[in-house]
A and B are shown apart, each in its own frame.
Chain A
Amino acid sequence: AQSVSQHNHHVILSEAASLELGCNYSYGGTVNLFWYVQYPGQHLQLLLKYFSGDPLVKGIKGFEAEFIKSKFSFNLRKPSVQWSDTAEYFCAVNGRSGSARQLTFGSGTQLTVLP
């Protein structure tokens, strides 16, 4: 069975600090990986995705993530956060075999950026 673990439940940073949010998954085969963001009171939006190829993927708003297959990780990074990045961030995984379960989400990380 596939699962996703986000170790940081709440992260508080000051503006201009660097960000790294951890995401680890468990699945025995090839995966598609996603990071979604949910701004206060809004629906989920896709930040970035990894299907194949270059394990360093760039998304919107200066976010990037690195897929490390050996560590089953897909950590999200941003070199300098802004107050407007305050939101909840969800990592999600989907196994690529036909029998794989549907998209599985982590429990989310609430990011608060202090001005």
Chain B
Amino acid sequence: NAGVTQTPKFQVLKTGQSMTLQCAQDMNHEYMSWYRQDPGMGLRLIHYSVGAGITDQGEVPNGYNVSRSTTEDFPLRLLSAAPSQTSVYFCASSYSKFNEQFFGPGTRLTVL
């Protein structure tokens, strides 16, 4: 049981480049979410999904896209990277939005 996995662990991008952060879980959780963590701001929700085929925006969705084609996978796409997107990104999953969330190890992204 691997829990929540994320790849890559580190990434450096140039402004304007695009990329996809991968997230997978093997706990059969319906609810998955993406957060960004910035110093002094805690975790802020980017996008979330309540099940395959269903996604919605969180608090800071601009510049990011998501899709959920399977229960296991929930990739986060940066469309055109900007320096303001330099952050640590965490994926999480849970049985529902009301339950405790299990977090992945994070991806540290730097946009130059």
Residues of A in contact with B (beta carbons under 8 Å apart): 4, 9, 32, 34, 36, 42-46, 49, 90, 94, 96, 102-108
Residues of B in contact with A (beta carbons under 8 Å apart): 33, 35, 40-45, 48, 58, 90, 92, 97-106
Chain A residues contacting B106 (CB-CB under 8 Å) are 43
**What separation, in Å, do the CA atoms of A42 and B37 have in the docked complex?**
13
**What separation, in Å, do the CA atoms of A4 and B59 have in the docked complex?**
14
Point out the residue from B42, B48, B102 that lies within 8 Å of A107, measured CB to CB. B42
The answer to whether B103 touches A107 (Cβ under 8 A) is: no
The answer to whether B103 touches A103 (Cβ under 8 A) is: no
Q: Please, which residue of chain A has its CB at the minimum distance from the CB of B40?
A: A107
Q: Please, which residue of chain A has its CB at the minimum distance from the CB of B97?
A: A102
The answer to whether A43 touches B103 (Cβ under 8 A) is: yes
Give chain B nearest CB distance to A12 CB in angstroms: 17
Given contacts A4-B42, A49-B100, A90-B43, 8 further A-B contacts (CB under 8 A): A9-B40, A32-B99, A36-B103, A43-B106, A44-B92, A46-B100, A102-B97, A107-B41
Chain B residues contacting A32 (CB-CB under 8 Å) are 98-99
Residue from A32, A42, A44 with most neighbouring chain B CB atoms (10 Å): A44
Q: Please, which residue of chain A has its CB at the minimum distance from the CB of B105?
A: A43
Q: Please, which residue of chain A has its CB at the minimum distance from the CB of B33?
A: A102
Given A94-B98, A96-B98, A102-B58, A43:B41 Cβ within 8 A: no
Chain B residues contacting A96 (CB-CB under 8 Å) are 98
Q: List 28 A-B contacts (CB under 8 A).
A: A4-B42, A32-B98, A32-B99, A34-B100, A36-B103, A42-B105, A43-B90, A43-B103, A43-B105, A43-B106, A44-B90, A44-B92, A45-B103, A90-B42, A94-B97, A94-B98, A102-B45, A102-B58, A103-B45, A103-B97, A103-B101, A104-B45, A105-B42, A106-B42, A107-B40, A107-B42, A108-B40, A108-B42
Chain A residues contacting B92 (CB-CB under 8 Å) are 44
